[in-house]
Each structure stands twice: as structure tokens, then as C-alpha cells.
């Protein structure tokens, strides 16, 4: 039998209609006391906390997710644009995070908690 704490931990919350989360968009929603950034990247929904671990900035309220420039030795150190639409940058200090994994690009050992966001008919739900 499941205890109450486990049931509460896995509760689902309706956060909007599918039409509120078109591909390429992001939106901050409140679920209880949590603020969650919901991102639609290539038709898949992701949820990240709206808080940057650097100095608690509102991570998901920044510009729309973009890509990032990288230079790799196997490409003669030429800059190339990667992860199109998958990178969110904190508006306070610019730290970038990969939305699908929650991993910080500058500090790969920093990984944000992620929230399961999914479609259920015409509704979008988050599972905590």
C-alpha cells in the first residue's frame, strides 16, 4: 500500500490547455508554491524549476529558448550553432541550461530537477 507522502509526491495537476503550449513556446505556471517553466521543444513538453541555482534568478522568465554557439576541435574550432530551441538562459547572469536534460552548459555537474509534463487529451498536466 502506498503511503500519503508518496501519493502526494506523484500528484498530477492540470496546468492548461494544449493550445496554451505551442511548439517553440515556453511559459511559467504556478503549481502550489512552485513556479515551473514549461517548454515545448520540438513537440515534446519539459518542465524545469523557475529558479536558477546561481543566485535564485527567475530562470524560465528569460528570452525564448535558443541554441548556443560551440567550438570543437574536430571542426577546426569554428563556431557552430547547436541545440536549436533547447537552451534557456537565466535573465540575471546568462547561465545557460539545456531544457531536455536540465544540465548547465557552463557547469555540467549542475543539473536542475525536472518535472514530468504531458498531454492528457486536450489538457496539459504536470506530475510532481
pLDDT in tens for each of the 128 residues of the chain? 455 555 555 799 999 999 999 999 999 999 999 999 999 999 999 999 999 998 889 999 877 667 677 777 887 888 776 667 789 999 998 899 999 999 999 999 999 999 999 999 999 999 99
SS (H, E, C) 7-74: HHHCCEEEEEEHHHCCCCCEEEEEECCEEEEEEEECCEEEEEECCCCCCCCCHHHCCCCEEEEEECHH
> What is the structure's pLDDT at 49?
97
In this structure, the number of other CB atoms found within 10 A of the CB of residue 65 comes to 25
5's CB contacts (< 8 A; 6+ apart) are none
Structure pTM?
0.82
> What is the structure's pLDDT at 21?
96
> What is the structure's pLDDT at 65?
65
Amino acid at each position: 500500500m502506498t503511503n500519503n507522502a508518496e501519493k502526494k509526491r506523484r500528484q498530477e495537476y492540470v496546468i492548461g490547455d494544449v493550445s496554451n503550449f505551442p511548439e517553440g513556446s515556453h511559459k511559467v505556471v504556478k503549481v502550489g508554491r512552485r513556479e515551473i517553466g514549461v517548454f515545448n521543444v520540438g513537440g515534446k513538453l519539459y518542465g524545469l524549476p523557475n529558479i536558477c541555482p546561481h543566485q535564485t534568478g527567475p530562470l524560465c522568465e528569460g528570452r525564448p529558448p535558443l541554441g548556443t554557439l560551440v567550438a570543437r576541435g574536430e571542426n577546426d574550432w569554428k563556431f557552430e550553432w547547436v541545440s536549436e530551441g533547447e537552451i534557456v538562459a537565466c535573465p540575471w547572469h546568462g547561465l545557460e541550461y539545456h531544457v531536455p536534460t536540465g544540465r548547465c552548459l557552463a557547469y555540467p555537474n549542475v543539473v536542475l530537477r525536472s518535472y514530468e509534463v504531458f498531454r492528457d487529451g486536450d489538457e496539459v498536466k504536470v506530475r510532481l
